[in-house]
């Protein structure tokens, strides 16, 4: 369901001050929702197209033609300008698969130009080595790769692509040649969870990489697989603690993962439990789709169109509209009782 942005009547939350043709902006006025959560993290989907066919997300591949009206660089420039003026400190560029956009490095550079402290990408890693130099030069700080198995046959079965050896080789090039912080994500599946845990521990032993296990989330498209493969992360936590791992303290702009560290390991293990009771308590993010729709929650059935502000470079209108959404941002995702509102996670990048 698409709805219009609620009207918010307030003084403009920013001001420009003259001076030799430049514009000096007052300190950011942060976005704070009705539950006193400060929203400093923007997840921007730059495309909903994905070239993979992961069984838990797009088992039949991307359907139809890729949209030709994704947000332009000019629109993204206005988007970043408005969000930064509202206290955004971190941007994650997602898809679909964001690397299919040829101007992805330009989008990274725009975020950098706007002074965003942490710029990240979530990617499947296809042809990763090809992109590394341009991404780093543009200002990328962090990369999250989706690697659901360290077994190449299982990886191929999940994704439809037989590229795991090449991808892992590209990962080592990234670690050797760049200062981009690397995290890996794997969806917890009942049949492969234990083997994948042992492989992940072996992988991070000598590499400064965080491997994160994400509990499988049900959507309207994956119910059969969800009920066949659903696996909680409790056994991973039990295994880690038993073997000397300890939770790492969080910092302000961290995501929902709980990371575990061990003195004998260069890397760490993370756990993301979307069904956990207090998962949403520290939510600090907003999502914007590749067509300029705001999603207040990953599993919210509604979205709010902000593209008219982006198309007309109306920063003031954008900021006022975003402020107006704060009272209706939900407290929880209610995933346990309303699963499946989102058709698939490629729409807004998970």
Mean pLDDT of the chain: 85
Output the domain CATH number for residue 287. Answer: 3.20.20.70
Determine, yes or no, domain membership for 30: no
Determine, yes or no, domain membership for 86: yes
169-180 pLDDT tens trace: 999 999 999 999
Determine, yes or no, domain membership for 21: no
Please tell me which residue, 98 or 348, carries the higher pLDDT value: 98
CA distances from 122 to 45, 88, 305, 313 (A): 10, 18, 24, 27
Q: Which of 164-168, 227-231, 325-329, 330-334 is the least confident region? A: 227-231
Question: What distance lies between CA 46 and its chain's CA centroid?
Answer: 11
- Quick check: helix, strand or coil at residue 341? coil
Parent domain of 324: 2-10+38-347
Work out the widest C-alpha separation in the chain, in whole angstroms. Answer: 65
Determine, yes or no, domain membership for 69: yes
Mean of pLDDT values over 126-138 = 97
> Is residue 19 very low, low, confident or very high in pLDDT (cuts 50, 70, 90)?
very low
Q: What are phi and psi of 286, to 5 degrees?
A: -125, 150
Determine, yes or no, domain membership for 179: yes
Mean of pLDDT values over 328-340 = 66
Residue 162 pLDDT > 70: yes
Mean of pLDDT values over 283-302 = 88
Angle in degrees, 0-180, between the axes of helices 104-113 and 128-138, rounded to the nearest 10: 20
Determine, yes or no, domain membership for 31: no
Determine, yes or no, domain membership for 200: yes
Whole-model pTM? 0.85
Cis peptide before 96 (omega within 30 of 0): yes
Helices (H), 178-283: 193-204, 223-229, 234-242
**Cβ–Cβ < 8 Å for 45, 94:** yes
End-to-end Cα, the chain, rounded Å: 18
CA distances from 155 to 64, 149, 167, 178 (A): 25, 5, 11, 26
Mean of pLDDT values over 257-275 = 91
Question: What distance lies between CA 57 and its chain's CA centroid?
Answer: 15
98-119 pLDDT tens trace: 999 999 999 999 999 999 999 9
**Cβ–Cβ < 8 Å for 234, 258:** no
CA distances from 3 to 68, 77, 312, 335, 350 (A): 22, 23, 19, 22, 21
Determine, yes or no, domain membership for 19: no
The residue with tokens 């003084």 is 11
Total number of domains in the chain: 1
The H or E element spanning position 92 is: strand 90-94
**CA 304, CA 102: separation in Å to the nearest integer?**
27
Predicted pLDDT at 190 = 72
């Amino acid at each position: 369901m698409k709805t219009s942005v609620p009207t918010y009547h307030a003084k403009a939350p920013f001001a420009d001050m003259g001076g030799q043709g430049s514009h000096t902006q007052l300190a950011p006025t942060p976005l704070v929702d009705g539950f006193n959560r400060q929203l400093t993290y923007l997840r921007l989907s730059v495309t909903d197209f994905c070239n993979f066919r992961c069984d838990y997300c797009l088992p039949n591949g991307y359907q139809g033609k890729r949209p030709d009206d994704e947000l332009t660089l000019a629109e993204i420039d206005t988007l970043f300008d408005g969000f930064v003026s509202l206290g955004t400190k971190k941007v994650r560029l997602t898809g679909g698969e964001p690397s299919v956009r040829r101007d992805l490095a330009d989008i990274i550079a725009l975020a950098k130009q706007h002074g965003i402290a942490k710029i990240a990408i979530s990617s499947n890693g296809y042809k990763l080595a090809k992109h590394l130099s341009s991404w780093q030069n543009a200002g990328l700080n962090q990369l999250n790769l989706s690697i659901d198995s360290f077994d190449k046959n299982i990886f191929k079965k999940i994704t439809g692509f037989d590229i795991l050896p090449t991808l892992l080789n590209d990962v080592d090039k990234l670690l050797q040649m760049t200062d981009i912080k690397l995290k890996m994500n794997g969806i917890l599946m009942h049949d492969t969870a234990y083997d994948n845990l042992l492989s992940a521990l072996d992988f991070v032993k000598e590499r400064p990489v965080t491997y994160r296990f994400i509990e499988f989330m049900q959507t309207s498209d994956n119910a059969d697989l969800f009920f066949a493969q659903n696996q909680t992360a409790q056994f991973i936590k039990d295994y880690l603690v038993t073997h000397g791992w300890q939770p790492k303290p969080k910092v302000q702009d961290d995501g929902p993962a709980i990371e575990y560290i061990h003195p004998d390991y260069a890397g760490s293990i993370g756990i993301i439990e979307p069904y956990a009771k207090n998962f949403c308590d520290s939510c600090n993010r907003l999502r914007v789709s590749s067509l300029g729709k705001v999603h207040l929650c990953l599993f919210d059935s509604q979205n709010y169109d902000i593209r008219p502000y982006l198309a007309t470079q109306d920063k003031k209108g954008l900021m006022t509209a975003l402020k107006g959404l704060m009272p209706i941002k939900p407290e929880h995702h209610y995933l346990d009782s309303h699963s499946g509102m989102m058709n698939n996670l490629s729409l807004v990048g998970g």
